[in-house]
Amino acid sequence: MDALTNAYIKMMTDVEKLYDANQAILDNIPAFAAKMVVFKNHNATIGLLLPLAEETTKPTTNERDLILENMCLAAEKVCKPVQAYAASINDLLLEGSMNWTADSLGRQVKDVVGPTCVSIHTKATEVKTPAADFGLKQSDLDDLDTNNTAWAAKQSAIRAKQVASSQAKRQILKSVADNKNLLNRILDRMVATLSDSNPTLVGLWNQTRQVMDPGTTVTTQRFKVVHRLEDSNMEPLYQATVVMEKQGVRLELKTNSLGEVEFRPIKQGIYRVTVSLAGYQTVTFLEFRVKQGKIGKQEVELLPNEA
């Protein structure tokens, strides 16, 4: 899996651990326990499929390449006497089809060399009796056939692993997406209802929910903080506080007279962004993405506190 997907998987695992440690409190939120059952099921699916998704075909590929070398050597042993026989009877077509060495076969595309060696075996078998006078041996034909069979089996095993890995990755990505939606649309809002009664737990939840992208590319992120006037026009807010946080990093700036701040340089990744100003409702983005190679621009509207 890619680094960002792994970062989301780690976050979801940490959320599950936080829930387990605070289940007695969180289960008092109506319907929270039922939603967490769904969330945990997705996590379980991810955990089950990860080994399959990350399984490498390299050991099997190395074994296949050894078979390829043996198969090409066996084919060369068969080609030489059959080519000599074909030349003796002026069969240019047969002679041309046997114009292979182990080296020239080995340079072929791997998906082509197998069928080529099978064709060599088939044609050589058809003329094995007269070609025997030119050195064709049954043992060489048998050796080529054995290697051809082993090659086909190894190719099939590699394809099966690749298909299984691809299917596992697709299911993991779906489960990650489902859990992200569950968090963003339901669970985060449910936990937020504890802001007054248990702000410490809400803070832990929000901290755990941060996704730490291992990206390192430096870029620029700009924010413009505004509020809506009665005529629906937007007016910039001066001295609003904008905080960007991710693991081990906390950046804080206040807006200028144009309501703007600029974080530069800043590493790409997923941040928790909080925008606040006295007299206005705080806005929080739990998963704000700073993208590689782009100057990010985000307008944030603050609503006045209710009287």
Using alpha carbons, select from 266, 237, 238, 240 the residue that is nearest to residue 251.
266
Q: What angle do CA 240, 196, 180 make, to 5 degrees?
A: 75
pLDDT per residue as tens digits for the range 84-104: 999 999 999 999 999 998 888
Please give the share of the chain, as a percent, with pLDDT higher than 70.
95
pLDDT beyond 60 at 213: no
Q: What average pLDDT does the segment 105-117 reach?
A: 85
The predicted pLDDT at position 212 comes to: 58
pLDDT per residue as tens digits for the range 232-271: 889 999 999 999 998 778 889 999 999 999 988 788 888 9
The predicted pLDDT at position 1 comes to: 77
Give residue 215's pLDDT band: very low, low, confident or very high (50, 70, 90).
low
In angstroms, the CA 268 to CA 258 distance is 25
Contact 57, 65 (CB under 8 A): no
The predicted pLDDT at position 208 comes to: 87
Q: Which residues of 272-298 are buried (b: 16+ CB within 10 A; e: fewer)?
A: bbbbebeebeebeebbbbbeeeeebee
In angstroms, the CA 69 to CA 113 distance is 11
The better pLDDT of the pair 288, 57 is held by 288
pTM of the model: 0.58
Topology (CATH level 3) of domain 218-301:
Immunoglobulin-like (2.60.40)
pLDDT per residue as tens digits for the range 271-292: 999 999 999 999 999 989 888 7
Domain boundaries, given as residue ranges, for the chain: 1-209, 218-301
